[in-house]
Amino acid sequence: MAITYGLLLEADFTALESVGEAWMDLYGNLDDQAATIGELKAKDVAAFGVNHWEGRNADTAREQVRDIVVDLDERAAAARRVSVSIADAVEEFRAAQSDLNEAVAEVDRERATVTDAGAVVPDTSRGTDNISYAQGMSTRINAALDRATEADEGLKAAIGVWAETFSASERSALIQGAADEAEELQELIDSGASPQAINDWWSGLDEAERLGILEGNPGLIADVDGIPTEDRDAANRDLLEAEIDRFSPTLDADIADLEAQLEELDAAGDRFDEGGGNLGVPHETSEYRELREQLEALEVERDDRDSLEKLQDAISGQARTDQEYFLLGYDSAEDGKAIVSVGNPDTADNTAVYVPGTGGDLDGASGGDLQRAETMAWDAAAVPGGGETAVVMWLDYDAPDDAFLNAPSSSYAEDASEPLTSFMGGLEATNHDPEGTTTTVMGHSYGTTVIGEAASENGLATDQIVAVASPGMTVDHASELNIDPDDFYATTAPGDAIHAAAESSLIHGPDPSDTGLNLSDGPGSGFGGTSFESDSMSWNPMEIHSNYWEDGNSARDNMAKIFTGNGDEVR
Amino acid sequence: MSDFSIRPEEVRSGATALFDASEAIYEAMNTLAEDSSALEGTPEATEFTGIAECLKAAEVWESDYIAVHRADIEETAKFAAVCAETGEEVDDYGATMFDQYADVYLDDRTAPSPERPGPDPAAQIPRGESLAV
């Protein structure tokens, strides 16, 4: 419905602004309650923890608590999005109102008059000169009204989607209204458009079109670099929930039932067929084998579901830095992949992208690797004047499974090079202030090899590169990473098992933490850049390799300084 | 399947925490509903479709979505309370089993019990599903 002249002129948006703030308060409350409820089962010693309650009822209660937390978290996120949409709309309404007031005030009353309906009527008593003048002023007034109308339509779509107030027909109309745009986006993606081109195109859509694509086809934007973080997160969360919902609700009961049947057959002596043709070696009866195969298939399904639920749990609520989690991509196939950000990289003052190494998979992405990202965000938040740092855990590549069997191959890094390059380009495109933001890409172990390959082959949209416990970065010197070597930092703790690989210079290149300050190698030798301290925290070389995020490790302070643009202070 | 064991005082405290959470959510929702009611009948809410949708959203959340969350929370709270009070595995739990303990858990409460809304025949398409476009 078009906003009329008199309406916009007189409108007061104060009450709407208060409503927007109340939605934000509701978000905070839902988020707090989700955290409180989640605590009931978070630890063994919690009220509903296994130390205090065991058995079928306890399992049921813990499962119910889990579902409540996921639901509340989703509802809290919706309330936050509603609040932001209202705040944006209020700003836009007021801007349109201001445009209108300015236009009306500027109308020269000797040349034209403005009617109560907003029409500009030229004074033609002394000729026709004023007609074009009146048309010009009318255009300005109409532009202000159009601006308000577009904001109103965007607000309606945003509330309908985020607050889930749309009926099926309204939702369908929203999706249909963006059908052409969805097709256009698909063509852009197919043509290999850059993240910047994607972002420019996306920014040119109105809110209703963007929401129509998100609602109708979240899979189209879920993993597209250049789509803003908020939209990408919403798409991925929708897909994750839909994928989890596709698992049978009776999966656990079906598994228990099959286990019971197998036990029964075993107890009755019907597990093995003692008949002939097997050279006296008992083999499973066909009935037992069929049931066992069914059970194995369901167990695989259960593992897949559990991994996805673990990811969903991991991104529920807020990080301990009070930052939100953003799911920027995931893939449940094979080992699984995921991109999760602690904090919004589009709006943070600093962004660090953490690339994990060997052994990275979906479980790690929801567990240890995400905890490392959160730890780094926590440390960066402690740097005085450092601003907000978003830390992205980027595992959008098939990491080597085994340090000895797979990690010597560079093929994993080669395959990861293009996705990482594109992702960093996407972050640059969606960032609100790419010039003012400090961006760092940081790798651990094989993750540094991935970064080296991508940076040297394609160049990465980053200000700095950090290599932790690197087995080599596929190049001989920091200058080959397409950044100023002064912006390259590296560390490897004394005794780290990776020394054996890095020092041999046979696997992925020379040790990046050998910056050339070792005089015995002669001037000009070494990788270049700055090396910083890290601690072993163990005598075990394999443990040392994973200890960089342990409490008290000096590597943490140093990384925090680098991420916040204080790299000149590292020790 | 793990053997049954329970420390009633711990589980009781968990049930109480759940009832408290439900009440806190009720109060926050109430504030939003009151703030939103200030829009009711205004020219802005009548003529701006987006503002009208905000008003509708507060109503739908109060009567439906938030009510469902509270009902889920309180059902779990009641279930835990019954388990804590009986001190044994409950095989056929029904909501009325909690009634005899209600005074202990809900005595100081100001928020009304949540009412789960009936099924809406015009239910929306679940989020995350695609429509052919």
Residue entry with tokens 């290999």: A192
Residue A66: CB atoms within 10 Å:
17
Residue in chain B nearest A168 by alpha carbon: B124
The rounded percent of chain A whose pLDDT value lies above 90 is 84
Mean pLDDT of A326-355: 96
Q: Are strands A530-531 and A325-331 parallel, antiparallel or unpaired?
A: unpaired
From start to end of A40-125, where are the E strands?
53-54, 112-114, 120-122
Shortest Cα–Cα distance, B133 to chain A (Å): 6
Residue B5: CB atoms within 10 Å:
13
From chain A, pick out residues whose CB is under 8 angstroms from the CB of B126. Answer: 242, 245
Tell me the whole-structure pTM to 2 decimals.
0.89
Distance (Å) of CA B14 to CA A34, A477, B105: 14, 58, 11
Mean pLDDT of A532-549: 96
From chain B, pick out residues whose CB is under 8 angstroms from the CB of A52. Answer: 6-7, 10-11
Residue entry with tokens 């081109």: A197
Phi first, then psi: give them for residue A272, nearest 5 degrees: -110, 145
For residue A444, give the 3-state DSSP assignment.
strand
Topology given in CATH for the domain delimited by A309-566? Rossmann fold (3.40.50)
Domain edges within chain A: 5-165, 309-566
Residue length, chain B? 133
For residue A537, give the 3-state DSSP assignment.
coil
Close Cβ partners of A272 (under 8 Å, ≥ 6 residues apart): A282, A283, A284, A285, A288
Distance (Å) of CA A161 to CA A85, B129, B132: 11, 13, 18
CB pairs under 8 A between A and B: 211
How far is the C-alpha of A249 from the C-alpha of A407, rounded, in Å?
A: 39
Does the pLDDT value for residue A323 go beyond 50? yes
Cβ atoms A318, A385 nearer than 8 A: no
Mean pLDDT of A242-249: 95
Give the pLDDT confidence of A211-226 residue by residue, as tens digits.
999 999 999 999 999 9
User: Is some CB atom of chain A closer than 8 A to the CB atom of B21?
Assistant: yes
For residue A268, give the 3-state DSSP assignment.
coil
Query: What is the reported pLDDT for A525?
Result: 62
Relative orientation angle of helices B49-60 and A56-106, to the nearest 10 degrees: 160
The rounded percent of chain A whose pLDDT value lies above 70 is 95
Mean pLDDT of A179-187: 98
Does the pLDDT value for residue A502 go beyond 80? no
How far is the C-alpha of A78 from the C-alpha of A18, rounded, in Å?
A: 17
Paired tokens of A543:
């443990």
Paired tokens of A150:
């577009």
Three-class SS of A222-243: CCCECECHHHHHHHHHHHHHHH
Does the pLDDT value for residue B92 go beyond 50? yes
How far is the C-alpha of A139 from the C-alpha of A406, rounded, in Å?
A: 66
Query: What is the reported pLDDT for A517?
Result: 58
Closest by CA to A187, choosing from A204, A201, A175, is A201
How far is the C-alpha of A490 from the C-alpha of A526, rounded, in Å?
A: 12
The pLDDT confidence band at residue A276, using thresholds 50, 70 and 90, is: low
In this complex, the residue of A53, A68, A93 whose CB is nearest that of residue B76 is A68
Shortest Cα–Cα distance, B12 to chain A (Å): 8
The pLDDT confidence band at residue B120, using thresholds 50, 70 and 90, is: low
Shortest Cα–Cα distance, A422 to chain B (Å): 26
Give the pLDDT confidence of A112-154 residue by residue, as tens digits.
999 999 999 999 987 788 999 999 999 999 999 999 999 999 9
* Helix (H), strand (E) counts: chain B: 5, 1
**Which one of A394-403, A496-505, B13-22 scores highest in mean pLDDT?**
B13-22
From chain B, pick out residues whose CB is under 8 angstroms from the CB of A160. Answer: 53
ipTM over 0.85: yes
User: Is some CB atom of chain A closer than 8 A to the CB atom of B10?
Assistant: yes
Higher pLDDT, A500 or A511: A511
Query: What is the reported pLDDT for B95?
Result: 80
In this complex, the residue of B7, B50, B125 whose CB is nearest that of residue A168 is B125
Residue entry with tokens 């109430």: B30
Query: What is the reported pLDDT for A191?
Result: 98
From chain B, pick out residues whose CB is under 8 angstroms from the CB of A175. Answer: 131, 133
Mean pLDDT of B71-98: 92
How far is the C-alpha of B53 from the C-alpha of A269, rounded, in Å?
A: 67
Shortest Cα–Cα distance, A137 to chain B (Å): 24
A57 CB-side CA count, 13 A: 25
Does the pLDDT value for residue A518 go beyond 80? no
Residue in chain A nearest B36 by alpha carbon: A19
Give the pLDDT confidence of A479-493 residue by residue, as tens digits.
999 999 999 999 999
